[in-house]
Chain A
């Protein structure tokens, strides 16, 4: 079973408008972390935002915010005031426990966002 589900293979948004990228997750671990990464065409994975399962407030980082709905197991990324440079692939990921102190990230299949001028 998929642990991270991103149901939107592609999204379009007009420049300067807000856009929401969906992410749902599945875990029985009471302690977990959720991440969003941006991957432009260059390939580098750029960390955007993190939400811990015990965090009371939704995470925000500049124009990025994470709409965390724990009961629904969703962690949607909201990008406000979209810019042309936001066009990229966006991945949702979840932290799971591994042996020792390493923690695995499980990634979704990604959403390709295109910002239109």
Chain B
């Protein structure tokens, strides 16, 4: 069966510090991968998605970036965090086959920027 992992689970970082959040998927090949951010009490906002290694599409201009160095690894990064980057970050995957619709989410990372 497929599983998705995210770490760290929680993170407190000062403004201006770098960020690296990791997401890995097990039990599948060539998944579509997604990074979402959820502000407190709000819905999810898509940040990045990837259909393959090295292929990243950005949905929202910001100081964040994403990379996919391996088929089942998706990394969210920042060189300098802003206060507004605080939130709950969720990674999701979907099988690469066209017929499969559902996205499955990881446990998330709570980021607090002080």
Contact = CB atoms under 8 A, between A and B. Distances in A.
Interface residues of B, number: 28
Contacts of B102: 35, 47, 50
Nearest to A35: B102
Interface of A: 4, 33, 35, 37, 42-47, 50, 52, 91, 93, 95, 98-110
Contact of B101 (A46, A91, A103, A110): A103
Interface of B: 32, 34, 42-46, 49-51, 55, 57, 59, 88, 90, 92, 94, 96, 98, 101-108, 110
A91 B49 contact: no
Could you tell me the dominant secondary structure of chain A's interface residues? strand
Contacts of A105: 34, 44, 46, 103
Given A99-B57, A102-B51, A109 B101 contact: no
B99 to A, nearest CB: 10
